[in-house]
Structure 1
Amino acid sequence: MLIDDYVADLSRALAGPSGPKRDLVVEARDSLTDTADALEAQGLDRAAAERVAVEEFGEVAQIAPGYQEELTVVAGRRLAAVLFLTLPLSVLIWSTIWHIFPGDHPAWSARPAWYTTATALLDAIQVVAGLYGALALLALGRGARWMRRPVPITRSLGLVVMVTLPLCGLLSLLVSAVSDLPAGFDRLAPVMLAEVATSAFWGLQFYGAVRCLRLTRRA
């Protein structure tokens, strides 16, 4: 097998973030090319040199699992960073909104007894998940050299998102439904920006979770 064919097979065997995947494939190609160049300098023709280089490098079935684990860990780090950054930020944004608006609106004092508990639970879920993201980011980053099984951490991040997103969505709907907010509240610029930011955060979390769960099954 020639280098181009080998690299194409390796690329097809791997899944994960496009940038890191491309870097791994390019690294493999460079290593194979250097070996083939050395063999060619020793007298082998180019085709034979490439075949020997590929044989010495190892079969795709042997090489791909290690590369795939590395890509899976990269996906886990990215999702951990998303959780660490977006969840506490969501709490901060909405805490600011609720403290400023709707101010002294009469209905604000007529909220049901469970309202405070629901909002506190919503904030707690997001903060705890964000802290877990921070710990996972540390474990998959600087702590990766001591982690014997990093893939389960990546999978746990995906599961955390799949649990917290529905809970946060449900609690948010309940809180909004009983808030009896003033007319036009949801059209205020800060509120609209907060809603857009939250939707973007949730989209990033969901995308990262799906990718992490898919990659950990593959790994």
Structure 2
Amino acid sequence: MLIDDYVTELRRSLSGPYGPKHDMVVEARDSLVDCAEAYEAEGLRRADAERRAVEEFGPVQEVAPGYQEELTASAGRRLGLLLFVSVPATVLAWGLVWNFAPADPVVWESRPSWFMPASRLLDVIQLVTGLYGGLALLALGRGARWIPKARLVTRSLGLAVWLMLPLTSLLGLMLSQGWYVSASMGLSLPVVLANLMTYACAGLQLYCATRCVRLTRRA
């Protein structure tokens, strides 16, 4: 097998974030080309030199799992960083909305008894998720040497987002669309911006989480 064929097969066997995957394939190709050029300098024909370089590099079936493990960890690091940054940012944005664009005082005083417990529960879920994202980012980075199965961390992140988003969406809908929130507040610019930010972050989190779960199914 020549280098181009080998690299094509390696690329097709891998799945993960485009940037890290591209870098890995390019690095593998560069290593093969350097090895082939060394054999060619010793007198081998180019085709024979490439075949020997590919043979020494190892079959794709043996090389790909190591690359795939790193791609899976990379996807987990991206999701962990996203959660660590976006979840606190969303909480901060809504905190500013409630403080600087509050509901009508009369309506606020008549809020239902479940409002504050639901609000606190939403804060706790988001805080725990953001914190877990930070811990997972650390574990898949500096702590990777102590974690034999990085794919388990990546998968748990994806599943955590799948669980977190429906809960936070339901709680957020209850808190923001109830009869106790004034119509003027719901149409104000801060609320619109906070909603846009929330939906954008949620969509990106869901995309990254789905990719993490899909990658970790490739045992």
- Aligning the two structures, in what range does the TM-score lie when normalised by the shorter sequence? over 0.9
Residue pair 2:101, 2:190 contacting (<8 A) in 1 also: no
Q: Which structure 2 residues correspond to residues 1-219 of structure 1 after superposition, within 5 A?
A: 1-219=1-219
C-alpha separation between the residues in 2 aligned to 1:123 and 1:82?
Answer: 17
**Deviations for 1:25-71, whole angstroms, at most 9, x for unmatched residues?**
00000000011000000110000000010011001000001000000
Residue pair 2:88, 2:127 contacting (<8 A) in 1 also: yes
After superposing on structure 2, the runs of 4+ consecutive aligned residues of structure 1 that deviate more than 3 Å are none
Shift of 1:176: 2.2
C-alpha separation between the residues in 2 aligned to 1:7 and 1:16?
Answer: 16
Shift of 1:101: 2.3
| CA-based RMSD | 1.1
- Secondary structure, in 3 states, of the residue corresponding to 2:75? helix
The number of residues matched between the two structures is: 219
C-alpha separation between the residues in 2 aligned to 1:103 and 1:195?
Answer: 16
C-alpha separation between the residues in 2 aligned to 1:7 and 1:102?
Answer: 59
Which amino acid is 2:57 matched to? F
**Deviations for 1:105-124, whole angstroms, at most 9, x for unmatched residues?**
31111111110000000011
C-alpha separation between the residues in 2 aligned to 1:104 and 1:56?
Answer: 73
Residue pair 1:7, 1:25 contacting (<8 A) in 2 also: yes
- Secondary structure, in 3 states, of the residue corresponding to 2:139? helix
Select between 41-50 and 96-105 the one with higher mean Cα deviation: 96-105
Paired-residue identity, %: 58
- Secondary structure, in 3 states, of the residue corresponding to 1:10? helix
Shift of 1:167: 0.3
Shift of 1:99: 1.9
- Secondary structure, in 3 states, of the residue corresponding to 2:49? helix
Shift of 1:178: 2.4
C-alpha separation between the residues in 2 aligned to 1:9 and 1:29?
Answer: 12
Structure 1: 5+ residue runs without aligned partners?
A: none
Structure 1-normalised TM-score? Answer: 0.97
C-alpha separation between the residues in 2 aligned to 1:177 and 1:193?
Answer: 16
